[in-house]
A and B are shown apart, each in its own frame.
Chain A
C-alpha cells in the first residue's frame, strides 16, 4: 500500500511538472501545435487530482487498517482511536496535512480546468500557475516530508495515538475549512497573476474569480472561527482567542482577503485600484503560505507545537520565489493597470473603500508586526520579548473600532458623490439609536472610566448597534421604494430588493453578522471566574449560579481513563442542569487533557473545568468561568456565512418598467 502511495506522489509530481511546463510552452509559443499541447497540459492537471486523491485515500485507509509500518500512521493514530479521528489523521500531522493541502489544490485546479471554456487563454495561465504551486507542495511531499515513510526495525504493536487536543469533533472539520480557505486563495491569485502576465483587458478576470473569492473567504471565516470555538471548547482556559502566532497566521490572510473583497468592487464599478487589487490578492495568497510556514517551521513558539518540523527552509524559499516572480511581472506590466476614473468626492463609496482597505491592512500589519516582533527583538537586543494579548488589545482594538465605524457609514455612501444632507438624513436614526445603546449600557452599570476595556466595550456596543441599525435602515428604505412601486408589503419588498442585488444585500447581512460577533466579544471585560476545591455537597456561587458538587468519580475505556465531577447547577432554588467537567488521560499518547463543560445561553456561558485533584484530600478542584454574551459570537459567524451564501445567489432579472414612475423618495444608496 505504502509503495502505491509513494508512487502516486511521484506520478503527481511528474504530471504537475508536465502540466506547468507544457502549459507555459503552449502559451509562450502560439503556433499550430500549441493548442494541442495546451490541452495535454490541462489534462495532466486534471490527472494530478486523481493521483493525489489516490495518495490521500491510501493514507486514510492505512489509518483505518492500523498500518503502523507507515511512520505517519504510527505517530498519529492507534488501534482504539475512534473512526472519525482516524479519518482526521490525514490532517493531524505535517506529513498528512501536506497531501491534504495538495489534494485540495488539485481539486480547485480540477474545477478550474473543467471550466476552461469560459476564457481558454486566461484559464490556461491560471492552470499553469496552480500547477507551479502544486509542484512546490509535491516536491515537499516527495523529498522533505514523505507521508509514506516506513518505520525502521521491529513493527510496534500499537500507534503512539493522536494528540489529545485534536480528539474533539470540531477538529474533524476545522482544519479542512481552514485549508479550503488557505488553498482557495491560490485560485484568485492565479487568475490575477495570469491576467497581469497576459495584460488581460478589462475586468473580466475579477468577474470570473468573484465567486471563487467569496467561497474561499467563507471557508476561511468558518475555519478561523471554528478554530476559536475549538480553543474555547477544548483548551479549557475559558477564552476563544489567545493571539497565538498560529491564530494570527489565519487572521492575516482573512484581513487582506476581506480588503480584497471590498476593493475589487471599485475596480469592477469604476475601473480604479487595479494595481492595489493585484497586490492585495498576492498578499492574501502570500500570507496564507506564510501562515503555513509559521505553523510548520516552529520558528515562533505556539500552542500548535504539534505541527513543527524542519521544512521551514522550503517555505522560506517558496515565499521569496513567489514574491520575486510577482514583483517582476508587476513592474513589467504595470502600465496596463492604470485607473480609468478619478475620485470625485471625499464623501463617496470610493473613499470609504479606500479607508476600509487602509484599516484592514493596518490591522493585518499590526498582527504581523506583533507576531514577528519577538524575533526582531531577539535580533536587535539579544533577547526575546513576549507580544501577547495586552499588546493586541491596546493596538488592534482601536483599529477594529474604526473599521466598525466605517462598516456602519460605508453603506450609506453612494458611488461618486454623497451630499452631506443625504448622509445626515440616512445617518440620524441609526446614530441616535447607537447613542441610546451607550446610555443604556451606562445605566446598567458599564463604567468606561473604570477600565479601558469597559470603554472599548461601550464603544463596540454603540458601533455594533450603529452597524445593525444602518443595515436595517438600508433594507427598510429600499423595501419601501419597492413597495411603493409594486404594492407588495414591506417584508416581501425587502425580499424582492434582496433578489435585485444579492451581492450588495448579502454583503449587508455579512456586516450585520460582524456586528453580532462584536456584541459577543464585548462581553469579555465582564468575565468572572472562581476556583474551589469541591467535596461532596460543597457549594460555589458565581454570578446567578450556585454549583453543588454531587459526586466525583473515575472511568476507563480502551482509548483513555478519566476523572470527572458531577456538578448540579442551581439558579436561585431551581436546579437547571447537571454538568460533568472532566479530565482524561490518553493511554496511547500518555498525555492528559482537560475537557471543559459549557452551558450556553443568550446571556452568558457557564464554563466549568476540572482542574485536577488535591493530592492531600483527594477532592477535585473545579474552576468556573462566567462569560457573558459568548454565544453571540457563534451566532454572528453563522449570519456572516449565511450572508456570504446569499450573496452568491445570482441576481433576479431586472423588472422592465414601461411607463415612467414618479419617485418621491431619495435613491437608496447606489450599487454594491
Chain B
C-alpha cells in the first residue's frame, strides 16, 4: 500500500515537473544569435597558434585582426554563413575551418564516433545476452553442508557482496 502511494506521488511529481519543463522550453521566441561570434568560433587563426580565431591572443599575431576584419566585412555584405566560411576556405585553405565539413570524406570524421557508439552498444548488448544465457552451475547430487575454509570463503564473499 505504502509502495503504491510512493509510486503515485512519484508519477504525479514527475508529470508536474515535466510539464513545467515543457512550458519553459517553449516560452518565448529564439533570439537572433551573434553571428560574428558564432562564425568566429568556427574558424581557426592561421598564424599557427592553433587557436580559434576569436580566441587568438598570440602576441604579435599578424593574422587574427585582419581575419576578424574580413569576417566582419563578409557579414556586412550580407553573405550567408556558408558563403562567408567558403570565402575563408578559398583564401586560407581547408585548415581554416575549426572542424571538418559535412561533405565528402570529412563526413567520416563525424560518423565514426557515432558508428563506434552503435557498435559498442550492440557488442555490449550481445555480451549481456550471452552472459544471461550462460547456464547456471549444476547443483551437485548429494549436497553436504560446507564448513571450514570453504564456509569462510563464502562468508567473505557474502560480506563483500552485501556490505554497506
Interface residues of A (CB under 8 A from B): 235-239, 242, 244, 269, 272, 301-303, 339, 342-344, 346, 351, 354-355, 358, 361-362, 365-366, 369-370, 373, 377, 380-381, 383-391, 394-395, 399, 415-416, 421, 424-425, 428, 431-432, 435-436, 438-439, 442-443, 447-451, 478, 481-482, 497, 500-501, 583, 592-594, 609, 611-612, 623, 654, 667-671
Q: What 10 additional pairs, Cβ within 8 angstroms, besides A386-B99, A432-B13?
A: A235-B57, A369-B109, A369-B116, A385-B100, A386-B100, A424-B7, A442-B21, A449-B26, A592-B59, A612-B59
**Alpha-carbon gap, A339 to B3, bound state (A):** 37
Name the residue on B nearest A436 (C-beta). B17
Q: Which of A343, A390, A425, A439 contacts B21 (CB 8 A)?
A: A439
Would A667 and B132 count as touching, CB distance under 8 A?
Answer: no
CB distance from A476 to the nearest CB of B (A): 13
Q: Report the nearest B residue to A385, measured CB to CB.
A: B100
B69 proximal to A (CB < 8 A): no
Query: Which chain B positions have C-beta within 8 A of A415?
Result: 161
Q: From residue B98, how far is it (CB to closest CB) to chain A in Å?
A: 4
Chain A contacts for B100, CB-based, 8 A: 373, 377, 385-387, 391
What residues of B have a CB within 8 angstroms of the CB of A354 in the complex? 124, 127-128
B17-36 interface with A by 8 A CB criterion: 17-18, 20-21, 24-28, 30-31, 33
Contact between B55 and A669 (Cβ–Cβ < 8 Å)? no
Q: Min CB distance, A305 to chain B, in Å?
A: 9
Closest to A651 in B: B163
Chain A residues within an 8 Å CB radius of B20: 435, 439
Interface residues of B in 98-114 (CB under 8 A from A): 98-101, 104-106, 109-110, 112-114
Q: Does B66 contact A (CB under 8 A)?
A: no
Contact between B28 and A447, CB atoms less than 8 A apart: yes
Identify the closest chain A residue to B3 (Cβ).
Answer: A421
Contact A583 B48 (CB under 8 A): no
Say yes or no: B95 contacts A244, CB within 8 Å. Answer: no
CB nearest neighbor in B for A504: B163
CB of A342 to closest CB in B, whole Å: 4
- Taking CB atoms, residues of chain A closer than 8 Å to B121 are 358
Q: A438-B21, A583-B59 are in contact. Are A385 and B109 (CB under 8 A)?
A: yes
Instruction: Please report the C-alpha to C-alpha distance between residue A497 and residue B159 in the assembled complex, in whole angstroms.
Output: 15
Q: Are A432 and B109 in contact (CB under 8 A)?
A: no
The answer to whether A435 touches B113 (Cβ under 8 A) is: no
Check B50 against A384 for contact (C-beta < 8 Å): no
Please, how many residues of chain B have a CB less than 8 angstroms from a CB on the other chain? 66
Q: Is the CB of B95 within 8 A of A384?
A: yes
Enumerate chain B interface residues (CB-CB to A < 8 A). Answer: 3, 6-7, 9-10, 13-14, 17-18, 20-21, 24-28, 30-31, 33, 41-42, 44, 48-52, 55-57, 59-60, 93-101, 104-106, 109-110, 112-114, 116-117, 120-121, 124, 127-128, 131-132, 134, 136, 159-164
> Chain A residue with minimal CB distance to B26?
A449
Q: A237, B56: Cβ atoms under 8 Å?
A: yes
Give the residue name and chain of the A residue nearest to B159 (CB).
A654
B105-A380 in contact (CB<8A)? yes
- Check A388 against B99 for contact (C-beta < 8 Å): yes
User: How far is the CB of B47 from the nearest CB of chain A, in Å?
Assistant: 12
B164 contacts A500, C-beta separation under 8 Å? yes
Chain A-chain B contacts (Cβ-Cβ < 8 Å), number? 187
| Chain A residues with CB under 8 A of B6 | 424-425, 428
Q: Return A295 CB to nearest CB of chain B, in Å.
A: 14
| A361 CB, min distance to chain B CBs, angstroms | 7
- Shortest C-beta distance, B115 to chain A (Å), equals 10
A387 contacts B109, C-beta separation under 8 Å: yes
**Contact call A343/B18, Cβ cutoff below 8 A:** no
**Complex Cα–Cα for A387 and B112 (A):** 14
> In the complex, how many angstroms separate the beta carbon of A237 from the nearest chain B beta carbon?
4
The answer to whether A381 and B104 touch (CB under 8 A), given A342-B131, A428-B10, is yes
Check B109 against A609 for contact (C-beta < 8 Å): no
Residues of B within 8 A of A366 (CB): 113, 116
Closest approach, in angstroms, between the C-beta of A364 and any C-beta of chain B? Answer: 10
CA distance A592 to B58 in the complex (A): 10
Taken together as a complex, chains A and B put the C-alpha atoms of A431 and B15 apart, in Å, by 12
- Chain A: CB-nearest residue to B105: A381
Q: Are A450 and B31 in contact (CB under 8 A)?
A: yes
Smallest distance from the beta carbon of A283 to chain B beta carbons, Å? 14
Nearest chain B CB to A585 CB, angstrom units:
9
Say whether A435 contacts B33, CB under 8 Å. Answer: no
Which chain A residue has the least Cβ–Cβ distance from B131?
A343
Contact for A238 among B55, B104, B110, B113, CB less than 8 A? B55
For residue B132, which residue of chain A has the nearest CB?
Answer: A343
Indicate which residue in B3, B109, B124 contacts A373 across the interface (CB closer than 8 Å): B109
Residue of B nearest to A374 (CB): B95
Which residues of the partner chain B approach A671 to less than 8 Å between Cβ atoms?
160-163
> Are B59 and A593 in contact (CB-based, < 8 A)?
yes
A583 to B58, CA, bound (A): 12
Q: Are A387 and B13 in contact (CB under 8 A)?
A: no
- Is B3 touching A435 in the complex (CB atoms < 8 A)? no
B57/A594 in contact, CB under 8 A: yes
Say yes or no: B13 contacts A377, CB within 8 Å.
Answer: no
Q: Which residues of the other chain, B, contact A302 by a CB distance below 8 angstroms?
A: 50
Name B121's closest neighbour in chain A (CB-CB). Answer: A358
* B48 CB contact (under 8 Å) in A236, A301, A394, A449: A301
B112 touches A439 (CB 8 A): no
Q: How distant is B100 from chain A, measured CB to nearest CB, in Å? A: 5
A342-B136 CB under 8 A given contacts A237-B56, A478-B164: yes
A13 to B94, CA, bound (A): 47
User: In whole angstroms, what is the CA distance A562 to B28 when docked?
Assistant: 50
Most chain B CB atoms below 10 A, which of A269, A355, A428, A592:
A428
Partner of A269, one of B28, B128, B161: B161
